[in-house]
Chain A
């Protein structure tokens, strides 16, 4: 069974006059030992997905769907909160996006990173030893462990969080923009570290939320593209990066400096107008796109939510 199987996950937040749907029936599978890159623009709901799996969303939000975790094969979203909490920091680790705010300003960095280990009863010495090793691999000085967050640079904080997550030895690592603010050299080190971790922890599954496409390409085996809260493409990383299927994904790749540096169309799709949300920006749009939101079509290269592939059959 896959390490993580997400089925029709939907999340909505209350807003004046109703609810705003941020994620709509998102489904995908992450196998053990695999890295899945979740790609999309900021605000597209990627972080929300991770927060939903961690059950950190505000009480007022509406969450539906299932997320089956290999450990005991249970649904993460349905299990009692106490059980879920016991998985966090042990079997599931999180690398949050905004490193600056995720760290407690008044506690030393090392302590915070070691905390998930310390609360499990792992002795201090061992916890810190693990961290020191990871720090070295990420080019972080050992004394950073004893410093306070404001004494480290943004990139250092981000890397520290990566080290912290890997130190737990979790089987499922949820990484939210782990390369934010990190320079190219250190990015390579991060890539190397993740790959090494896979070797040391063979069953580790990495759910990588990012819009850093080269980084994703280096690590991922599978790619899922989110647009306007829905999965619009899913496939093997290798084929994806050679030639994505969905026009949005194509635009994303073309925006990269190496591939043409073409500017992305602004904004997210129209709400409530019916039809494909990407239609206003799509260079290939045609009539069916205006009328109906396409379902996910299966193609030899993966699944796509685009009418252009409609004739290959759902």
Chain B
């Protein structure tokens, strides 16, 4: 229990730090935040009225510490500010896009996880056969290619050369469920293909390192059938660090998802982030960044918790 609290505290500290970073970055940007907004090459100029409104919103007319407190106060109320471009609260703007990205990740990651684990198990069971060698090499190749490359390759093969799927994944109102699934298929597949390589390699490594353990020999000596040895003993022992590592993988793959989204013009967080960047919509961008960071921190915490839960030994350790 104490451990859980420690982990929570650690995550919280990290989150607070990130928020502070976010806060100060904006204010540390060239002289006035609005100077950055008024880039000559884009011809944006603010009227006095707009400037006053912005200053009031950011509370820039007040001392820095007051601003900081106000900022945090707003955050804890769940208000991330208002988007310049959309003229709506940031949270409202983000939610649908966030949901889309989450769907994509879910649809891609879980199949990749299952397939990766299964293939790793098979790899270990059929070690030293030429098939396994081929599988290993294929996986390495898959994982080495940048996600946008895999996505592009899929796009070319299955949407352009052989038009089985739509080339863009934007959803139009009135699309039925089947149609929606069709448009999700390629991006999810692209993401899954990219992740499965890493998952497979990590799982394979973990399983092999467990394979040499004495308890595996003991299990065999008890007459336990080979399949059970793998499933109940080897996998079980490898699972805690493996799942923790995979959760961290998920956290790190956020960037990759962005690329896949771009290739297929999928309306997820990346679309929002880039739109915000293009329009200098600071509040929106802050919001997207915070959400991303929150997801990553949550996953980090989840990884540590998973480890504690699955491995009774860590529970005892203070």
Q: Is B219 a contact partner of A54 (Cβ separation < 8 A)?
A: no
A106 touching B316 in the complex, CB below 8 Å, given contacts A88-B223, A119-B224: no
| A106 and B223 contacting across the interface, CB-CB below 8 Å | no
Q: How far is the CB of A273 from chain B (nearest CB, A)?
A: 35
> Contacts A105-B237, A107-B236, A150-B316 hold; do A115 and B214 have CB atoms under 8 A apart?
no
Q: Collect the chain A residues with CB atoms within 8 Å of residue B219's CB.
A: 104, 115
B222 within 8 A of A: yes
Known: A101-B213, A150-B312. A85 touches B220 (CB 8 A): yes
Chain A residues within 8 Å of B310, by CB: 106
- Shortest CB–CB separation between residue A178 and chain B, in angstroms? 14
Q: Which of A90-98, A126-134, A205-213, A218-226 lies on the face that meets chain B?
A: A90-98
Q: Are B223 and A101 in contact (CB under 8 A)?
A: no
Give chain A's interface residue range (CB within 8 Å of chain B). Answer: 20 to 34
| Chain B residues positioned under 8 Å from A107 (CB to CB) | 232-233, 236
Size band of the interface chain B makes with A: 20 to 34
Q: Mark A86-121, 1 if CB is under 8 A from B, else 0.
A: 111110001010100111111100000001100110
- Find out whether the CB atom of B312 lies under 8 angstroms from the CB atom of A115: no
- CA A115 – CA B225 in complex, angstroms? 11
Please indicate the chain A residues that have their CB under 8 angstroms from the CB of B228 in the complex.
119
Task: Say if the beta carbon of B2 comes within 8 Å of chain A.
Answer: no
Q: Is A148 an interface residue (CB 8 A)?
A: yes
Q: Of residues 147 to 191 in A, which have CB atoms within 8 Å of B's CB atoms?
A: 148, 150-151
A56 at the interface (CB under 8 A from B): yes
A116 touches B233 (CB 8 A): no
When chains A and B are docked, how far (Å) is the Cα of A88 from the Cα of B233?
A: 17
Max chain A C-beta neighbours (<10 A), residue from B221, B226, B312: B221
State whether A104 and B223 are in contact (beta carbons under 8 Å apart), knowing that A96-B214, A98-B214, A150-B312 are contacts in the complex: no
CA distance A94 to B222 in the complex (A): 7
The residues of B that contact A90 with a CB separation of less than 8 Å are 223
Interface flags, B290-312, vs A, CB<8A=1, else 0: 00000000000000000000111
Grouping DSSP codes into helix (H, G, I), strand (E, B) and loop, the B interface class, with mixed when no group exceeds half, is: helix
Contact of A103 among B218, B223, B316 (CB under 8 A): B218
A80 → chain B closest CB, angstroms? 14
Contact call B237/A106, Cβ cutoff below 8 A: yes
Contact A85 B223 (CB under 8 A): yes
Question: What CA separation (Å) do A51 and B221 show in the bound complex?
Answer: 9
- The proximity string for B residues 201-219 relative to A, scoring 1 for CB distances below 8 Å and 0 otherwise, is 0000000000001110111
Residues of B within 8 A of A85 (CB): 220, 223, 225-226
Q: Which residues of B have CB within 8 Å of A116?
A: 222-224
Which residues of the partner chain A approach B232 to less than 8 Å between Cβ atoms?
107
Are A56 and B221 neighbours in the complex by a CB distance under 8 Å? yes
What residues on A are CB-neighbors of B226 within 8 Å? 85
Specify which chain A residues have a CB less than 8 angstroms from the CB of B215 in the assembled complex. Answer: 101-105
- Nearest-neighbour CB distance to chain A for B277, whole angstroms, equals 47
| A86 in contact with B223 (CB, 8 Å) | yes
Report the minimal beta-carbon distance from B299 to chain A, rounded to whole angstroms.
23
Query: Which residue from A56, A87, A102 sits with its C-beta under 8 Å from B223?
Result: A87
Q: How far is the CB of B264 from chain A (nearest CB, A)?
A: 41
Q: Which residue of A lies closest to B310 (CB)?
A: A106
Chain B residue nearest to A86 in the complex (CB): B223
Tell me the chain A residues, 30-70 only, with Cβ under 8 Å from chain B. Answer: 51, 54, 56
Q: Contact: B237 with A115, CB < 8 Å?
A: no
CB-contacts of B11-53 with A (<8 A): none
Do residues A106 and B236 form an inter-chain contact, with CB atoms below 8 A?
A: yes
Instruction: Tell me which residues across on chain A come within 8 A of B217, comparing CB atoms.
Output: 51, 56, 96, 102
16 example contacts (A-B, Cβ-Cβ < 8 A) are as follows A51-B217, A56-B221, A85-B223, A88-B223, A89-B223, A89-B224, A94-B218, A96-B217, A101-B214, A103-B215, A104-B218, A105-B311, A106-B237, A106-B311, A107-B232, A119-B222
Closest 8 CB pairs of A and B: A89-B223, A101-B214, A88-B223, A89-B222, A116-B222, A102-B218, A104-B215, A94-B221
Identify 11 new A-B residue pairs, CB closer than 8 A, beyond the known A56-B217, A94-B222.
A51-B217, A54-B221, A90-B223, A101-B213, A103-B215, A104-B233, A104-B237, A106-B240, A115-B222, A119-B222, A151-B316
